[in-house]
Structure 1
Amino acid sequence: MRRAGDYLPRRATGLVLEALEDTRVVVLNGARQVGKSTLAEVVLKEHPGGVARFLDNPGTRTAAIEDPVRFVQHDGLMLIDEVQRVPDLWLAIKHLVDRDPRPGRLLLTGSARLLALRSVPDALPGRTETIELWPLSQGEIDGAPDGFVDAAFAEGADLRIPPVEFSRRECLARAARGGYPEAVRRETPRRRARFFEGYLEDIVTRDVKQVADIERVGDLRRLVSLLAAQTAGLLNVNRLAAELGLSASTVRRYVDILETIYLVRLLPGWSANATTRTVAAPKIVFVDPGLAGFLATGAVGGMPEGGLVENFVLGELARQLTWARSSIRLYHYRDRDQYEVDGVLEDNAGNVVGIEVKAAETVRAGDFRGLRLLQRRLGDRFRAGFVLYCGTESLSFGDGLTCLPVPALWKAAPPGSVAPDD
C-alpha cells in the first residue's frame, strides 16, 4: 500500500477538468474534510489567471455578502470554496453566467447538498454540473485501478483477479481506517479516533447549523450513534423515534439533515416488474465506514463486524459510480420472504449486477441464495452475481455466480486497461 503523503491524486480531478470544458458552473460537492478544497486548487492551477476565494475567511465572506455581484466578476476561472455559506451568491452567479455563457466560469465547492438547501434561492438548471467527492477510495490510497463496477458489467461472472493475501482482520482494519485524508495519514487507531472525535464535533456545531435550526443538538448526536450501531441495516424511523423519545417526523427530518451534510447515504430499495413483495425501506450507509466504526465503539450492542464490512464494500461501490463509464445506480434488495441482496447495481438498460457481502474468509453455496432468486426472475437482465468475501481466491459457483475477494473492488481493472499483478 502506498504511504499517504501531502496529496493523493483523486479520480474526480479528471471529471472536473472535463466538465469545465463545456459547462459554465461546476459544483464539487461532498462531506467536510474529504479534500474538496485541495482538489479544486489542483484544478485551478491548470487554468492560468484563475482566482480562488475562500468563504471560510471572515473578510472574504463579508465582501461576498455586501456585494455579491461584484464578488463573482472575473474574466477567467473563479473558485469559490464553501459557497453554501453565502446563499445570495447564487443569484449573482446566475446573472453572470446568463450574460456570459462561456464554459469554465466558476468552480464551486460545498459541504452540503447545495441544491437541496432551502436557503438556495435559485438552482441553475442547464448551467451546472455537480460532481460528488467521497472520502478516499482504496484504489486512490493504494494506487490501484478501482475498476470493479465497469469490469463487472463488461465481463460478468467471468471477472477474476489473481489470488491475494487478504483476511477478515485486514478488511476490518481498512474499514476502521476509513477514507478521510487526515485519518488515512494518521498512523494509529488512537490518533484516528482523535480525528473522528473532532470531526463529529465540527459537523454538529458548524455544518448542521448551516442547513437547519436545531435546538436539541444532543438528540441529533444520539441519533448519529444509533445509526452507526445499525449501519448497513434498514432504516426504521419508528423504532429510532421510540428509542430517542422523539416523534417520527423529527427523526425523519434529522436523517434528511445528516444526508444533506454527507454524513450518511440512504440506499433505496430495488424492485422491478419481475419481482414482488419487496421491502421499500432504505438501507442506511455511512459515507465513511471509519467514522461509523468510531461512533459505534462503546454503543449498546456495538456494531456487528458484518455491518462494518458491508458498509465498507457499499461505500467503495458508491465511490466508483462517480467515475464509472456508464450511468449506474446502487440499490439494495429485500423482500418479505427473507430474500436479500446487499447491493444491486443497475445500468440504464436495466442490466443488473448483484453483490452479496460476507465478512467470513470462506463462502458457502447458501451465500448465493438472494442472488439466485434475482437470477431466476430477471433472466437475461441479470448480468452477474458476486459474493465479496474476506478470502483470497476467485471461484465460480455456477453459471453467472462468482465469489471474489473484497480487494477485487480496487484491484479489478476497467475494460481496456491492465490490472496489476500484485
Structure 2
Amino acid sequence: MEYARRILDDELDELFGQVPAIAIDGPKGVGKTTTAEQRVAAVVRLDSKAIRESIAAEPEQVLARGRSLLIDEWQKVPEVWDVVRRAVDADPTGGQFLLVGSASPASGATAHSGAGRIGRLRMRPMTLSERGVMQPTVSLRGLLGGGRGPLAGSCPLTLSDYVEEIVASGFPAMRPLVGRSRRFQLDSYLRNAVDRDVPEQGLAVRKPEAMLAWLRAYAAATATTASYAQILDAATPGQGDKPARSTSIAYRDVLSSLWLLDPVPAWAPTGSLLTRLGQTPKHHLADPALAARLLGLSRDALLDGVGTSVGPQAGSVLGHLFESLVTLCVRVPAQAAEATVGHLRTRNGDHEVDLVVVRDDGRALAVETKLANTVTDQDTKHLHWLADRMGDKLLDAVVINTGPNAYRRPDGIAVVPLGLLAP
C-alpha cells in the first residue's frame, strides 16, 4: 500500500536532518511507526518479546544497528533513552535516531529528561486534510500570518458527511472499516487500553468496568470544562458511596500517559492583557470517534440529537464532538507552524473562545466552532470582545463551520468550512 503522507512529515523534513534524535509520541494506532519507517535504515522493535529481552539485558546493543535507527515502543526498555542521549552527546550529527512510543514510561525510568539532546513531537490521528476528504483552500499557517487577506473555496460536504468523519476515526487502520467492523475495532481498542495497557503502566484496575464508565463520562464531557468531580459523579450515577477523588485523578494520569486524553489547556496570556480567565482545561479524547463510541452514538443517533453532555457548557453532544474534530484539525497544523493551542473562558463564563492559536511572539489567532452552515452576529460576539482587548496582537479571527463557502464577513471575521482547512 502506498504511504499516505502526514503533516508530521513536513516537520520531520525540516528537523530530522539537523536534530540527532527525535521522539514521536502519540496513542497506539495513529501511524507513528509507519511514518518513522519512511526515513530510517534500520528498526529495533521492542514490542517483540525476544528483542525486548535481549536489549533489556544490554541496552547498548541498539547502537550496533546502524544509523538512521528507529527504536519502536522505546518505553518498553526505557534504558535505551539514556543510551541514545549519551550517543548524541558523543556525536550530535543530525538524523540518527527516531524513538516511537505509545506511552510515557514511569517517572524516574530514565536517568535524564533528554532536554537539549532528544526532541519531542506529538502525533495525533489524521485530520480531514490528511484523510483526503477535500482539497482544502485555506491555510492555517496563512491565517497565522495575520494578513487577513480574502478567502476562497467551496465545500460540498454536508452535516451528515462531517458526522460520518466524527465516527469514522482518524486512526489510519480504521479508515477502511464500516458498520460493525468499525464499531468492533473501536470497542476492542478501548477494551485493550483498559485491560492491558493501563496495567502495563503500573495501575492495577480492580474493576475495569469502573474505568470504562469513567471514560464514558469523560467522553460526555468532551469540549467542556467539567470538573473531575462532575465527571466522577456522571460515571457513578445513583451511587451513594462514591470512589475517592484520587481514583479519578489516577484514571486521568494513566490515560494521559497512554496519550488517550488530549485536553486543551486554558490560555494564559502574558502580562495584564486579559484578567479573570479560567484555568480549567477543555476535555478531549485523542480521537472524537472514541468519544462517540464510548457514548454508543452512531452517525444517525448524533444527527437525531441523541446524547447528553456533562459540564458547564450548554450544547448538544454533536456540537461538542464537532468541536473536538475541529480541535484535532487545528492542533496538528498548529504544531507544524510552531504554534500552541489553548482555549479561553472567563471565570464567570460570560466570554468564551473555543481555540486560541498562539505564535511564539504571543500574537494569536482566535477560532470559534459553529455546527451550522451560516454565521450570525451572535456567533462572532466573543471574537469581537477578544479583538477589542487584544488590538493588533490578534492576528485574525475565524469561525469554522459546516457551511458551503470560505469568505470574509464585512466585519473582517473569516468564515471557513472545516473541510477547507489546510495546514
| Letter paired with 1:93 | V
In 2, the alpha carbon distance for the partners of 1:306 and 1:137 equals 18
In 2, the alpha carbon distance for the partners of 1:66 and 1:170 equals 51
> Hey, what does 2:282 align to over in structure 1?
283
1:191 counterpart = 2:181: yes
Secondary structure of the 1:267 match is coil
1:215 counterpart = 2:167: no
Instruction: Encode CA deviations 1:213-262: one digit per residue, 9 max, x unaligned.
Output: 23333332221111111211114112223344222233123212222211
Q: Is contact 2:199–2:205 with CA below 8 Å preserved after alignment?
A: no
Matches within 5 A, 1:60-139: 60-113=51-104, 117-139=107-129
Instruction: Encode CA deviations 1:244-290: one digit per residue, 9 max, x unaligned.
Output: 42222331232122222111212111243222222211101122111
Alignment counterpart, residue 168 of structure 1, candidates 159, 165, 186: 159
Percent of aligned pairs with the same amino acid: 25
Q: Is contact 1:85–1:210 with CA below 8 Å preserved after alignment?
A: no
In 1, the alpha carbon distance for the partners of 2:418 and 2:48 equals 42
C-alpha RMSD of the superposition: 2.3
> Hey, what does 2:251 align to over in structure 1?
254
> Hey, what does 1:265 align to over in structure 2?
262
1:310 counterpart = 2:309: no
In 2, the alpha carbon distance for the partners of 1:146 and 1:182 equals 27
Q: Which moved more, 1:233-242 or 1:394-403?
A: 394-403
Change (3 A) 1:396 1:274: same
In 2, the alpha carbon distance for the partners of 1:404 and 1:106 equals 39
Q: CA deviation at 1:71?
A: 3.4
1:359 counterpart = 2:371: yes
Secondary structure of the 2:263 match is strand
Change (3 A) 1:156 1:201: farther
Secondary structure of the 2:415 match is strand
Q: CA deviation at 1:34?
A: 0.8
> Hey, what does 2:360 align to over in structure 1?
348
In 2, the alpha carbon distance for the partners of 1:7 and 1:185 equals 15
Q: Is contact 1:182–1:195 with CA below 8 Å preserved after alignment?
A: no
* TM-score, length of structure 1 as denominator length: 0.87
Q: CA deviation at 1:31?
A: 1.0
Change (3 A) 1:189 1:384: farther
> Hey, what does 2:415 align to over in structure 1?
403
In 2, the alpha carbon distance for the partners of 1:389 and 1:352 equals 20
In 1, the alpha carbon distance for the partners of 2:274 and 2:9 equals 39
In 2, the alpha carbon distance for the partners of 1:346 and 1:352 equals 4
Q: Is contact 1:29–1:109 with CA below 8 Å preserved after alignment?
A: yes
Secondary structure of the 1:354 match is strand
Q: CA deviation at 1:359?
A: 0.8
Alignment counterpart, residue 389 of structure 1, candidates 401, 405, 413: 401
Change (3 A) 1:235 1:58: same
In 1, the alpha carbon distance for the partners of 2:136 and 2:104 equals 28
In 2, the alpha carbon distance for the partners of 1:394 and 1:147 equals 8
Q: CA deviation at 1:99?
A: 3.0
Secondary structure of the 1:163 match is coil
Q: Is contact 2:358–2:364 with CA below 8 Å preserved after alignment?
A: yes
> Hey, what does 1:301 align to over in structure 2?
308
Q: Is contact 1:329–1:345 with CA below 8 Å preserved after alignment?
A: yes
> Hey, what does 2:303 align to over in structure 1?
none
Matches within 5 A, 1:120-159: 120-142=110-132, 144=135, 148-159=139-150
In 2, the alpha carbon distance for the partners of 1:238 and 1:308 equals 21
In 2, the alpha carbon distance for the partners of 1:229 and 1:239 equals 11
Instruction: Encode CA deviations 1:77-112: one digit per residue, 9 max, x unaligned.
Output: 221100001122223323333333333332111002
In 2, the alpha carbon distance for the partners of 1:260 and 1:146 equals 35
> Hey, what does 1:418 align to over in structure 2?
none
Instruction: Encode CA deviations 1:140-186: one digit per residue, 9 max, x unaligned.
Output: 22174686320212255435132221222111111221210011121
In 2, the alpha carbon distance for the partners of 1:156 and 1:229 equals 38
Q: CA deviation at 1:9?
A: 1.6
Q: CA deviation at 1:315?
A: 0.8
In 1, the alpha carbon distance for the partners of 2:154 and 2:94 equals 46
Change (3 A) 1:118 1:370: farther
Q: Which moved more, 1:387-396 or 1:374-383?
A: 387-396
Q: Is contact 2:42–2:66 with CA below 8 Å preserved after alignment?
A: no
Secondary structure of the 1:16 match is helix
* TM-score, length of structure 2 as denominator length: 0.87
In 1, the alpha carbon distance for the partners of 2:340 and 2:260 equals 19
Q: Is contact 1:139–1:146 with CA below 8 Å preserved after alignment?
A: no
> Hey, what does 2:300 align to over in structure 1?
none
Q: Is contact 1:343–1:354 with CA below 8 Å preserved after alignment?
A: yes
Q: CA deviation at 1:212?
A: 2.9
In 1, the alpha carbon distance for the partners of 2:417 and 2:257 equals 33
In 1, the alpha carbon distance for the partners of 2:414 and 2:6 equals 30
Change (3 A) 1:205 1:156: farther
Alignment counterpart, residue 206 of structure 1, candidates 191, 196, 204: 196
Instruction: Encode CA deviations 1:359-410: one digit per residue, 9 max, x unaligned.
Output: 1222211001111110111111122211111111234334331222222313
| Letter paired with 2:185 | F
In 2, the alpha carbon distance for the partners of 1:75 and 1:367 equals 56
| Letter paired with 1:377 | R
- How many positions carry a matched residue from both structures? 398
In 2, the alpha carbon distance for the partners of 1:15 and 1:396 equals 30
In 1, the alpha carbon distance for the partners of 2:147 and 2:159 equals 25
Secondary structure of the 2:193 match is helix
